[in-house]
Amino acid sequence: MLRMITGRPGPSGFGSASTAEQVTHAIDGSNLTAIVTGGASGVGLETARVLAMRNVHVIIAARNMEAANEAKQLILKDNNAARVDIEKLDLSSIRSVKAFADNFSALNLPLNMLINNAGVMFCPFHLSEDGIEMQFATNHIGHFYLTNLLLDKMKETAKATGIQGRIVNLSSLAHLFNYKEGIQFDKINDKNSYHDKKAYGQSKLANILHAKELSRRLQEEGANITVNSVHPGLIMTNLMRHSALMMSILKAFSSFLWKNVSQGAATTCYVALHPSLKGVTGKFFNDCNEYEPSKLAQDGDLARNLWDFSNNLINAALKT
């Protein structure tokens, strides 16, 4: 907590005050290709901008294509040599995720990094077009399915280039504020038991558990890909549109805990690009340093149950 407040660097040499540009200083990503979901605004846009600054070919995956194009132009305005493309992706729609993966495959590009950044937060109860609670559908199921669809491409790229692939899930310390059982498998879509804050925490716990289980599976397989999850920090972005007043009041009393967008993107960029993290997998990072998540987030049985549950939800949706 003291490091979080003071910005004092941790063992990595970086801390809460570090920016995305600082943690990627002098790193050349010219031989890398990355997908950044939700890269049209907020932390996602800053992540895309800094990766492009480090010569990474960035694919911005976004639901709003007008906003995605504006983000691309903003990046190009400051860096006309940047390699940035945009593709449509609505993570709350399983069919949109499949269409995005098919469209990306048709581009015949390599894929070194997948940044699962996009999300929704504290929204009122609502079901996705697939009949799944919206926070769980967007924050977890969409990214879970997208990752599975892109894994073969990442494995092929890692094998062909010898460069280790990296998957980064944006989670949150909000995973600590959750339903008692962690994941309400039998009540995912139950309106009566829905709590917007706990449902968000549930989806963020799912992000960590997904990274944990996928990391385990890839290690067993011997695939040259790491999977980690990160907490970006408290940042006032469009993600908080459903709770803007509450967050503004909170920020007034805890301004020392809040970050700007560049600081918020630092941990993502550090985990995605820094050479010191080669081979590091299945970990949770906060302020650019390893951080121990909740006991539920370290529960291997819960992670495996979530994996099977997620596949079943997706398979059921694809049959309708």
pLDDT band at 250 (very low <50, low <70, confident <90, very high): very low
- Asked whether the predicted pLDDT for residue 193 surpasses 60, the reply is yes
Task: Find the mean pLDDT for residues 271-294.
Answer: 98
pLDDT of 296 reads 97
- Are 143 and 37 in contact by the 8 Å Cβ rule? The answer is yes
Q: Give CA 242 to chain center in angstroms.
A: 20
User: What's the whole-number average pLDDT of the chain?
Assistant: 93
DSSP string, 1-23: -HHHHH----TTS--TT--HHHH
Whether 145 sits among the annotated catalytic residues: the reply is no
pLDDT of 234 reads 74
pLDDT of 52 reads 98
pLDDT of 4 reads 56
- Asked whether the predicted pLDDT for residue 122 surpasses 90, the reply is yes
Residue 215 has a CB neighbour count (10 Å cut-off) of 21
pLDDT in tens, 13-23: 999 999 999 99
pLDDT of 254 reads 43
Q: pTM to 2 decimals?
A: 0.92
- Asked whether the predicted pLDDT for residue 188 surpasses 50, the reply is yes
Question: Which residue of the set 194, 200, 270, 291 is catalytic?
Answer: 194
Query: How many residues would you count in the chain?
Result: 320
Query: pLDDT over 70 for what percent of the chain?
Result: 91
pLDDT in tens, 93-115: 999 999 999 999 999 999 999 99
pLDDT of 51 reads 98
- Are 114 and 229 in contact by the 8 Å Cβ rule? The answer is no
- Are 76 and 49 in contact by the 8 Å Cβ rule? The answer is no
pLDDT of 8 reads 82
- Asked whether the predicted pLDDT for residue 247 surpasses 80, the reply is no
Nearest to 266 by CA among 282, 286, 280: 286
